[in-house]
Amino acid sequence: MTNSKDIDPTLPVQGQLEAYNARDIDAFMQWWAEDCQYFAFPSTLLAEGTAAIRARHIERFKEPDLHGHLLSRIALDNLVIDHETVTRTFPEGAGEVDVVCIYEVSGGKITKAWFKMGQPRLHLATN
């Protein structure tokens, strides 16, 4: 029998990142616990439960340039901390933003996540 403490906490974090980049909402949601919480760092609750997180990401996945590029990852016990550069389509245009993502994992699912966003950098238009 596998103990939940034996489950590699990076597995669901990597799985949701791959699904995010594929813009596959069903694959993305399989990694989130039913009662998960999604925060802007440090404590602003943005979404609670899978229905709210799904709705948030259905909209995000419509962005044509969406892609999270993992720069580094640290795992300690049940916490996984990723540093990413995320390409987005902002209201002002295409660009990228640095993000620190902190995930709490239990039983192979993400139970809580915190996101600290840097300042967006718009891509220069080429004519």
Domains of the chain: 4-118 (3.10.450.50)
Question: How far, in Å, CA of 58 to CA of 52, rounded?
Answer: 10
pTM to 2 decimals?
A: 0.91
Residues 14-44 have pLDDT tens digits of 999 999 999 999 999 999 999 999 999 999 9
Question: How far, in Å, CA of 16 to CA of 89, rounded?
Answer: 20
Confidence class for position 50, pLDDT limits 50, 70, 90: very high
